[in-house]
Amino acid sequence: MTFEIALVLFILAAAVLFLITEWMPMEVVALLVLGSLAVTGLVEPADALKGFSNPAVITVWAVFILSGGLTRTGVGNIIGNRVVKLAGGSDTLLVMIIMVVAGLLSAFMNNVAVAALMLPVVMDICRSTERSPSSPFDAPGLRFAAGRPDDPDRNPAQYPRERPAQGESAQALHPF
């Protein structure tokens, strides 16, 4: 075993230990692993930071921030209470309202952002109506993120376009 392999295994073991024991938040552990790999020279610093330029990483980061903000400010709770009042105690109507709102939002927003916006609302509805989040109300939570998943214009992070090189046909990129 080379020194580099032993060093990677040590960093990995330390990360697993910190994640299991929760001595540090997982975000801090992830950044420490990234920094450790760059500082030790196992990964070039430029390569270590390339992931932050990926739109998918930025979208997931924004999802966490947006979802946390909605929960902490109580906006999700306010929206959830209004949806519950509008449904008037009908579970079917409640699910339909959530689906319609999420569908309308996904017509204008990235589907991952809609998921970030609606998930705290659905969780607050589950809490206020004393339903388990694993009830039928989690199905809309999963479905509204789908929106129209086959549409790369609204979901560019999930569906990167492959462009053929100059003079190359598109079939050359997709042999199957």
State the pLDDT at residue 123. Answer: 80
Consecutive 10-residue averages of pLDDT for the chain (176 residues): 92 94 89 92 87 77 77 80 84 84 80 77 80 61 50 50 51 46
Cα–Cα distance between 158 and 152 in angstroms, integer?
Answer: 7
Residue 175's pLDDT is 45
Q: What pLDDT is stored for residue 11 in this prediction?
A: 94
What is the structure's pLDDT at 73? 86
In single-letter form, the type of residue at position 82 comes to R
Amino acid identity of residue 69, one-letter, is G
Q: Is the dihedral of CA 119, 110, 26, 138 positive or negative?
A: positive
Could you write out the DSSP letters of every residue in 19-72? HHHTSS-HHHHHHHHHHHHHHTTSS-HHHHHGGGGSHHHHHHHHHHHHHHHHHH
pLDDT of residue 134: 67
Per-residue model confidence (pLDDT) at position 7: 94
